[in-house]
Structure 1
Amino acid sequence: MLLQQNEKKIVILGAPKNFGLNSVISDQLGVLGFEVVDINIEEKPFYYKSLVLRLKNLYRKLILKDYQYKDVLRKRFLDEQYEGKFAHIQQADYALFIRPDLFPKSIIAKVKNITRLTVGYQWDGLNRYPDIFSRIAIFDRFFVFDPVDLALPGTLPLTNFYLDQQITKQEDNNLTGKSTDILFIGTYIKERIPDIYQFFNLFKNKEEVEINAIINTHSQELVEEIQERCPIITTTYDGITYLENIDLVRQSKALADFSNYLHDGLSFRALEAIGFNKKLITTQKSIQKYDFYQPDNILIIDPTTDYNQVITFLNTPMREIDPLIKRKYSFSNWIKYVFDQEEHIPINLPAQS
C-alpha cells in the first residue's frame, strides 16, 4: 500500500479533533505515503475586521431591523479560517470528511471543487445529527456505519477501523503499564450507563480480576454518582487521547463495549479487539452477524450474565481470525476501499432482518 515518493497523492482531511483522532488519521495516511492537508481549525472568537463592518451591522440592525447580518459575518469569518487551511492547494486527489455535519456545507463544496474524489463518512447514526442530511449530496461517495442507514439511497456500507501502521510510540516489549484483564474507556452516555454499572458491579470485591474502567465526564455531579453506584469505575475530566487508549488496549486481555442504543454501528473497541488480538465483551447483539464473530473471542452480555460466565470466557483460549478478514478491517484496507483504489477488500454491513 505504501506509495512511491513520485506518486504521492494529496488528501484534504476533515475529521473530529476529539481525543486527537484527526492527528491519528493524518499520521496513518502519512505513513501510507499520502500528503495530508488537515483543515481542522482552532476557532478564533469573532471580531469585526473593520469599523465599516461594525457600523454596517449597526445600521442594518437599527434601521433595517435585520438581526441576521452579524450571523452572516460570523459565517464568513469562520469560512475564511477554513479556507486558509487549503488556499495553497490548486488540485487535490482525495478529500475525506469524517462526521461531515461538523463542517460548513460551503467549505465541503469548495473542497470538492478542487478535488478529484470527495468522500464523506458518518460514524454515528444519521438521525442523531440531522445536519448531515443536507450534506450527503455534495459527496462523490458517502458511507454509513449503521446498517439501518443503508436504506437511504446513495449511501455505502463502512465500519470503523483499527490502526495497523506505526501504531504508537511504544513497542509491545517496552510497555510499562500494569496488565489489565478487562478494559473500558468511554464518555458518560446516559443510555448505556445502567449496563455499565451492572456489569462492573459483578467484580465488586473480586480481587482476582484486574479491572480498568474509566469514564470521561466534566460533571462533578456525575462523578459523585459513579463513585456511589459503582466504585470500581474511575473518572477523568481531561479524557484520554486515542494513542493513550491504544497503549492501554495493548496491555489488556479483554475490552468491554456497551451500546448506547442510539445506533447499531460497530464501535472502535470492536475493531481494536480484532486488530490487537483481544477478547471483546459487548452488549451489542448484532455483532454476531459480522464475519469476524467467534463466541470464544466475543462474549455478548445482558442483565442475566453472571461473574462465572465472564471468568469462563476470559479463561477460554482465543480463536485465530482469518488473516483476510482481519486485514479487511485495517486502516490500510479501509482507506483503499473508501477511495475506491485497486486491490481493496470491500467492507459490508450485515443485512437487516
Structure 2
Amino acid sequence: MQKKKLLFLCPNIFGLYDVFKTGLENYSGCEVTTILYRRYKYKNKKEQIQNFLSKAFSGKKLKNQWEEEMYLDLLKEYKHFDYALTICPEMLSAPVLSHVQQIADKSVVYYWDGFDHFPNYRQTLPYFDSLFSFDPEDAKKYKLNFITNFYFAENRNTKATLDFFFLSSFDSRYPVLEKIVSLLEKQQMKVSVLQYVNDKKLKLIPKKHLQSFEFITKPISFKETTELMDKARIVLDIQKDIQKGLTFRVFEAMGLGKKLITTNPEIVNYDFYNPNNIFIWTDETKTIPESFLNTPYVEISEEIYKKYSQESWVKKILDL
C-alpha cells in the first residue's frame, strides 16, 4: 500500500523543525517532504539596486515579489499531497499559501505563537482547512482548535549534576530571570543559565551579572537543549507577557520527569498540574519552599502522560 504524502513547511529556528519532522515521519505513516523557510538572496548587485530604487520611489519591495516567485517555483515540482502542515504561515505570501492549499487534500496550520505577538496571523486564516493554536484564548477568539505543545524526549535521569537549568534568548524576560536565579543562588542551589545573544544585543549584556549566567553567541539546537536540561533536577520556564499558552519547556520537563518553576499561572488549569512538581513564580514570591526544592518528582498517571506525547499530538492535528 502506497504511503500518503505530507508537505511540511516550517522555519529553521534552533533546529525545532527537525523535532517536528521526526515526529511526523514516526507517527503519521506518511512520506514527509519538508520545506524550510528562507529569505530571498540577491542574485547580483543589479537586483539589490533595483530593489532599493523600487522601494525608494514606489514603496514596492521587489525582494518580496522575488521571494514569492522562489517559493512558487519550488512548489511547482509537487503535484499532490494528502496533507500540508504549515507552521509560522505569516512568513509566506497569500499566493504561496493559496497554492499549498490547492495541492493538498487537507491543509493544516499550527500557530505556535500568540496572535498578539504576530498580528499577521489573522491574514492567514482563510488558507487552511484545519486550524490549531497552543493558546486557549486565541483558540476561543478566532474559533481555532486548541492543542498544547508536546514532549518528544522521554528519560528519567536519576543522577542529575545540576539543581536548575534554563536556556533562552536574551530578551525582555531577563529582569524576571535574574530575580529567580538570585533567589535560587541564595538558597544554595546549583544553577546553570544559558542566554543566547546575537551581535546586535551584545552591548546590552549587564556588566555585572550573577555567576550562574553564561552568555553564548551560537544557537543551541532544540535536541541539544533537551540533553542539557536532562542534567538538572528542576527546569525554569519564563513565559512572554503576551502569551497564555504553555511553552515547549513545560512539556519537555514532563517528558524528562523534571520539576518545573514557571511564571505562567494558567498552568493550574491543566490536568497534569501538581503542586509537588510545579511551582508558580509571581511578583510576590520571596522564597521557594524547601519542600518543593528537595523532594522528588511525583509521576503523573500514564493516561495523562501519554496525552501530551508527540505521537498524540501528530495523530490529533492530522485527525488520524
Fold shared, TM-score > 0.5 on shorter chain: yes
Displacement after TM superposition at 1:26 (Å): 1.3
| Bigger shift: residues 132-141 or 311-320 | 311-320
- CA distances 1:130-168 after superposition (whole Å, capped 9, x unpaired): 11111111110111222221333431111111115xx7x
**Aligned mates of 1:107, 1:259 — CA distance in 2:** 32
* Matched residue, 2:273: 293
1:200 maps to which residue? 181
Name whichever of 16-25 and 109-118 sits farther off: 16-25
Give CA deviations for 1:243-268 in whole Å, capped at 9, x if unaligned.
Answer: 10011122221110112211111011
Change (3 A) 1:323 1:84: farther
Task: Say yes or no: does 1:274 pair with 2:261.
Answer: no
Counterpart CA distance in 2 for 1:254 and 1:242 is 18
Q: Aligned residue for 1:346?
A: none
* Equivalent-residue separation in structure 1 for 2:48 and 2:14 (angstroms): 37
Matches within 5 A, 1:1-353: 6-32=1-27, 33-47=29-43, 67-68=58-59, 71=61, 73-164=62-153, 179-190=161-172, 192-204=173-185, 208-218=188-198, 219-223=201-205, 225=206, 227-307=207-287, 309=289, 311-341=290-320
**1:312 Cα deviation after fit:** 2.4
Q: For residues 115 and 291 of structure 1, what CA distance do their matches in structure 2 show?
A: 35
Aligned-pair CA distance for 1:113: 0.4
Shift of 1:66: 6.8
Shift of residue 16 of structure 1? 2.3
Structure 1 residue runs without a partner (length 5+)? 1-5, 342-353
Q: Say whether the 8 Å CA contact 1:198–1:303 is kept in structure 2.
A: no
Paired positions, count: 315
Q: Please give the TM-score of this superposition, normalised by the length of structure 1.
A: 0.80
User: What is the CA deviation profile of residues 40-99 of structure 1, one whole-angstrom value per residue up to 9, with x for unaligned ones?
Assistant: 1443423479x9x999x79x97xxx97256x3x433321232234433221101111112
Question: C-alpha separation between the residues in 2 aligned to 1:91 and 1:264?
Answer: 36
2:141 and 2:273 map into 1 onto residues whose CA distance is 27
Letter in 2 for 1:101: E
Larger radius of gyration: 1
TM-score calculated relative to the size of structure 2: 0.88
How far did 1:232 drift? 2.0
Q: 1:333 to 1:316 in 2, by over 3 A?
A: same
CA-to-partner distance for each residue in 1:215-248, whole Å, 9 max, x for gaps? Answer: 112222222x1x5143321111112110100111
Q: CA deviation at 1:28?
A: 2.1
Q: Deviations over 1:299-331 (max 9, x none)?
A: 11224434551x321222322211121111111
Check conservation: 2:11, 2:37, Cα contact below 8 A: no
The DSSP-based 3-state class of the residue aligned with 1:45 is: coil
Say which SS state the counterpart of residue 131 (structure 2) adopts: strand
1:184 maps to amino acid: F
| Aligned-partner Cα distance in 1 for 2:310–2:288 | 36
1-structure distance, mates of 2:156, 2:276: 24
Structure 2 stretches of 5 or more lacking a match?
Answer: none
CA spacing shift, 1:283–1:77, aligned 2, 3 Å: same
What RMSD over aligned residues (CA atoms) do the two structures have, in Å? Answer: 2.9
Shift of 1:31: 2.7
